[in-house]
Amino acid sequence: MSLILDHVTYEYGSDTELAVKALDNIELVIDDNEFLGLIGHTGSGKSTLVQHLNGLLKPTSGHIYFNGRDIHENDFDRRALRGEVGLVFQYPEHQLFELTVFKDVCFGPKNMGMKPEQCEVAAYEALEAVGLDEELYDQSPLDLSGGQKRRVAIAGVLAMHPKVLVLDEPTAGLDPKGRDEILDLVKELKKNLGMTIVLVSHSMDDVAEYADKIVVMDRGKIIYHDTPKNVFAHAKELEAMGLGVPQVTSVMKSLADAGIDVPQDITTVDEAADVLAALCK
Ligand SMILES: Nc1ncnc2c1ncn2[C@@H]1O[C@H](COP(=O)(O)OP(=O)(O)OP(=O)(O)O)[C@@H](O)[C@H]1O
Ligand SMILES: [Mg+2]
């Protein structure tokens, strides 16, 4: 099972004079059980790309295949697809609208035709998985904090038991603790449930820490699609695109520039700690 984007181009307002080409001939294969990080400057097309993965947006040209089938064929069940490829929106407010948290999380499974009892079980399990305090289940989702809203939005998608979880900047606006909690949760979901994860992020540190592969977008095109080490070896090119490298990669480079014998392809704090500990011995 994989998701394939085959020469996908997307224009907003394609039949108007104000057409904006947001995706330009994207070719991408997302493998099963992969953790893919998607980075790029603001406006580079990340949100537009991820909204194609569950059929919310339809390519102006090109095709998207899920499990070998074109998702825009007439007889393809796109409602079922939205359960299998779960998208957590960039702004949780765009996703939460029911009167209570619990009802909100039940919405997805209900919409997919699950029986009421099954919906409730799925909602409880999902809310438990995201670690939301039970006292909040009957509150309005709009009264919650930013971090709590994101958990509810993730639970609403998890309750549909997706195979692919797509998160559009799920840590934006969270403090470091909230950020780590959400990302650790996502990592656990991949490990325990074998989910495929697509994580859109502005944080180089986060994608370096969690992703197996990284896609770098610039002006609607994919510039790099590689391992974190290979992507962050292009520090100058990334800088030219308004991106950076993980903080720890910069620190190790400064140490190397100062004449200390450390590798320059370090991308995670754990790796750096090992190298520095070995150096001190
Ligand atoms: N609804 C829309 N109508 C017209 N143009 C749009 C619309 N949504 C996005 N765009 C344009 O499409 C391009 C890609 O936008 P997109 O939101 O996909 O970028 P992004 O990488 O997700 O940015 P950000 O990091 O700010 O979330 C931008 O030029 C944006 O202005
Ligand atoms: Mg976006």
pLDDT digits (tens, 9 = 90+) for 189-204: 899 889 999 999 999 9
Beta bridge partners of 197: 35, 165
What single letter denotes the amino acid at residue 82? R
Average pLDDT over residues 233-262: 92
User: Which tens digit of pLDDT belongs to each residue from 144-172?
Assistant: 988 899 999 999 999 999 999 999 999 88
Which among 11, 14, 17, 20 is the best mutation to test ligand 1's pocket, defined by most ligand atoms within 8 Å of the CB?
20
Place of tokens 């294969």: 29
Per the confidence metrics, is the pTM higher than 0.85? Answer: yes
Q: What is the mean pLDDT of the chain?
A: 93
- On whether the CB atoms of residues 249 and 208 are closer than 8 A, the answer is yes
Which among 47, 51, 171 is the best mutation to test ligand 1's pocket, defined by most ligand atoms within 8 Å of the CB?
47
What single letter denotes the amino acid at residue 92? P
Place of tokens 């994580």: 199
| Whole-number Å distance between alpha carbons of 44 and 31 | 23
Confidence of residue 1 (pLDDT cuts 50, 70, 90): low
258: phi then psi, degrees, rounded to nearest 5: -85, 5
CA of 43 to the centre of ligand 2 (A): 7
